[in-house]
Structure 1
Amino acid sequence: MLKEKKPNILLILTDDQGYEDVSFAGTKDLNTPAIDALREEGMRFTYFYTNSPVCAPTRASIMTGKNPDRVGVPGLIRTNPKNNWGFLDPTVILLPKRLKEAGYHTAHIGKWNLGLSSPNLPNQKGFDLFHGWLEDMMEDYVIKRRVGQNFMRLNEKEIDPVGHATDLFSKWAADYIQSRKNIEEPFFLYLAYNAPHFPVQPPEAYYQRVLKREPNIPKKRAKLIAFIEHLDEGIGKVIKSLKESGQYENTVIIFTSDNGGHLPSLANNGLLRDGKQSMYEGGLRVPTVMVWPNKIEKGSTTNQVNATVDIYPTLLSIAGLENKDSFDGRSFHSTLLGREQPSEERELYFVRREGGLRYGGKAYHALRAGDWKLLQSSPYQPLELYNLKNDPYEKNNLIAVYPEKAEELNKKLRRHIQEGGKTPWQRK
């Protein structure tokens, strides 16, 4: 009997895309046909969480399968050491390194944000190819600089390509996929866009098209829609390259975002409360779809609660690798195949550390256990308790009504905080 070929893996991560900033969610003012096509071809996750309401900690959870502070990234990794709140534990084995054990060629195109120098550069952490941006945000998508520095790299070589970053990342990804056309070795491509993270900077033609189509919406919203539609078009080109090269049928595709939408940019998180930076649902729940032709049922939906820490163990299982690490996440491989998934209650833990007057260098947290969620959306605010089954939009704080339940969750939360405290988050 012939051994089944391992599937390619394409992980698409967008930046700050709101829970309902996809037209498959029923949103009427924007069009995302490429993302919608993925939804039609695969499974939608209605309760998919990021383990932090900001980017670097979420990326750490994806690449390690562990809670962000357990691997030294409770907050953003920045150029300025006075405003840096994370240092990835160099001893942690990242997802691409494990996938190489299964014979995968590994590539990362786009935003890295897990280290600006050795020992935490992408090529040092298991990627055969890195073509993208090392830092967190770009101050301009065409000039591509951060605090006057160029963080664009081809592997470890500084490059200064011409063009809009979204277009570049889409082209590089499509070219990479084409280059793998006749190669037996499977690939893992981690495609992480900076868009639609502010500054909201769509090409002018896209903006004018939205203004013409939607004359009655705020111009700020129109600009964000144009930015997302430009991003969607790029994703469409990447998927087209999979199909044209004959690799689509044997590729697992994950589409998700790194945190909730940025409300000052007029992102759409639906009825979910708040957005990016917040421990309410709008900061943590993201649009998520997975496609695996002939494996995942087309147009299917799961209401199972999953999170970014689950991606690593799930992909290990798909690649046929043994789970030999102490992950905080768990595989949802069986869910993708339409089988029963373990339904026992588990804890999902969320963390963010940040500076400035609002946060003061402190961390704040949330914990979900079953239908209950305990949260603090600022280190200076008291804890709040919600029952998400009865109150999905977090309108009724029950901490005074159910003090015993609050203390039960708080004990679990404190344990996670203590576990995360064992790992340094500053470079020595």
Structure 2
Amino acid sequence: MASAIASLPAQRGGGDGAAGASRPNIISIVTDDQARWSVGAYGNQEARTPHIDGLARDGARFDNAFVPTPVCSPSRAAFLTGRYGTQVGITDWISPAEAGRGLGLPASAITWPEVLKREGYATALVGKWHLGEDPAFHPHRRGFDHFFGFLGGGNRPMNPTLEDNGRPRSLQGSLPDLLVDDAIGFVERHRDRPFAVLLHFRAPHLPYGPVPYEDSAPFETLDPTIPDVPGLDRAQVKRWTRDYYASIHSVDRNIGRLLQAVDTLGLTARTVVLFTSDHGYMIGHHGIHTKGNGVWVAGGVTGPKRPNMFDTALRVPLVVRWPGVVRGGTVIAEPVTALDTFPSVLGMLGIPVPVDAAQQGADFSPLLRGQQVAWRDAVFGQYDLHHSGLAFMRMIRTAQWKLVRHHMADGLDELYDLQQDPDELRNLYGSEAARPVRDQLQMRLTDWQRSIDDPLLARLQR
């Protein structure tokens, strides 16, 4: 890790000098398994997300934000490094067995917190890591001065065991509250220098509860709107939805606590706040429960898996409050992905992207500034599922069309006209009329795979 940091080129305004001290702070909030459709700012009138909605009201809401892979670890790697999962060797969520065998985020994949630390920022990761459990992959070696949380993929929503000062501690209380207590403490201790806090909640991941009564109470009598999919156990899906909203409420309530602390310290005007999720989510959508590795639940059953790259699994909320720069209520339609976080955070903070970062993202900070810039017309995705199933999916999505290839499997490929079929219910892959579009998209998809040296291409050519 020391050699990776040393290889970063010198930057302007780095270190603890005046230029560094004048840079804005950043608080980056990532939830776990939170769908775009679950947020009030995106039209949900049943969930209670007033503090997330407030960030959108005071800042910018991205209407077309996606992740490249619809499960945890590769998506988080993309968020931190700007690189696809195949480029860092993480193509599915990291299981405990894989972590035990030494799988994790390689030192060659520079993270944007590493860059900020070199620029004089105090850096903290509070919450979930899920990018390797060996000492070589520890957050302290990936750009974080401070870590309070857990290295693996899961934890208890109540009375968790967390790493604190390098040691495991069994704590009492709600996990979101404990995480935000620590985040507030870090902000208080570093109020006089630029800081970066990455707050990674476990919620609203399964199990959704228990949560404090103040978070579940608003939904006790709610009759939630659920997908109109034949065969769903409607009572079960409604119960899941109420519990999901309660978990989200526990997050939003604590985001409010953190924002209030920042305001009380007089830091709001110079603190960028970014909110997003690691991927989308389904509770009965398409007859599936959870995400890109979700399971069929139609008919009241649980399983088998339905590997997918539906928009409900790939599309995420993304909100940025940037005081003094972003006009409140801004809505950005350009398609962005989690890969863009690396260059965009640096762009907002006035730090050049290291020349050897090898990241694949685009800087969306000009869009936040209201500038007219040339932008992509497509996003790409990949998912190599290998836990309790097997799938090799590649995707291209434009404003009108989405092509999903299920390699090494017959009869599963998908093509959707998103303008006529935004819910992705009519698969046109076998349509002769759609063949010219399908072939054009396939050419672009293959070109992209070549551009990132996708190892799947070599497997397909054997």
TM-score category, normalised to shorter length: 0.7 to 0.9
What displacement does 1:113 show? 0.6
Q: Percent identity?
A: 27
- Residue 395 (1) aligns with residue 415 (2): no
- Residue 249 (1) aligns with residue 249 (2): no
TM-score by length of 2: 0.80
Residues 1:8 and 1:202: Cα distance change in structure 2 (over 3 Å): same
What displacement does 1:372 show? 2.8
Q: AA paired with 1:396?
A: R
Give the aligned partner of residue 302 of structure 1.
332
Quote the Cα distance in structure 1 between the aligned partners of 2:179 and 2:442. Answer: 42
Pairing partner for 1:179 from 189, 196, 203: 189
Q: Which whole-Å deviations, capped at 9, do the CAs of 1:277-333 have from their partners, x for residues lacking one?
A: 130111000111100011001011011100100010011122222222332110001
Pairing partner for 2:54 from 33, 37, 56: 37
Give the aligned partner of residue 318 of structure 2.
288
> Is the contact made by 2:100 and 2:133 (CA closer than 8 Å) also made in structure 1?
no
What displacement does 1:210 show? 2.7
> Is the contact made by 1:50 and 1:308 (CA closer than 8 Å) also made in structure 2?
yes
Give the aligned partner of residue 114 of structure 2.
97
Pairing partner for 1:87 from 80, 83, 104: 104
- Residue 383 (1) aligns with residue 413 (2): yes
Give the aligned partner of residue 442 of structure 2.
410
Pairing partner for 1:192 from 200, 207, 218: 200
- Residue 201 (1) aligns with residue 230 (2): no
Q: Which runs of 5+ in 1 are unaligned?
A: 145-149, 423-428
Quote the Cα distance in structure 2 between the aligned partners of 1:294 and 1:379. Answer: 51
Pairing partner for 2:386 from 352, 355, 359: 355
Quote the Cα distance in structure 2 between the aligned partners of 1:194 and 1:155. Answer: 20
What displacement does 1:105 show? 1.2
> Is the contact made by 1:332 and 1:341 (CA closer than 8 Å) also made in structure 2?
no
Pairing partner for 1:365 from 383, 394, 402: 394
Give the aligned partner of residue 109 of structure 1.
126
Mean alpha-carbon deviation: is it higher for 287-296 or for 98-107? 98-107
What displacement does 1:353 show? 2.4
What displacement does 1:338 show? 0.7
Pairing partner for 1:142 from 158, 163, 186: 158
- Residue 420 (1) aligns with residue 454 (2): yes
> Is the contact made by 2:414 and 2:427 (CA closer than 8 Å) also made in structure 1?
yes
Pairing partner for 1:276 from 281, 291, 296: 291
Quote the Cα distance in structure 2 between the aligned partners of 1:353 and 1:16. Answer: 18
Residues 1:50 and 1:344: Cα distance change in structure 2 (over 3 Å): closer
Quote the Cα distance in structure 1 between the aligned partners of 2:363 and 2:81. Answer: 13
Residues 1:246 and 1:55: Cα distance change in structure 2 (over 3 Å): same
Residues 1:315 and 1:204: Cα distance change in structure 2 (over 3 Å): closer
What displacement does 1:417 show? 4.4
Q: AA paired with 2:50?
A: P
Residues 1:285 and 1:404: Cα distance change in structure 2 (over 3 Å): same
Q: AA paired with 2:62?
A: F
Quote the Cα distance in structure 1 between the aligned partners of 2:206 and 2:423. Answer: 26
What displacement does 1:230 show? 1.4
RMSD over aligned Cα atoms: 2.8
Quote the Cα distance in structure 2 between the aligned partners of 1:243 and 1:273. Answer: 41
The count of residues paired between Structure 1 and Structure 2 equals 405
Q: Which whole-Å deviations, capped at 9, do the CAs of 1:170-218 have from their partners, x for residues lacking one?
A: 111111112222x2x2111111000000001042513651344526773
Q: AA paired with 2:48?
A: N
Q: Which whole-Å deviations, capped at 9, do the CAs of 1:29-86 have from their partners, x for residues lacking one?
A: 2211111111111111010001111111110001101112111111111211399896
TM-score by length of 1: 0.87
Give the aligned partner of residue 425 of structure 1.
none
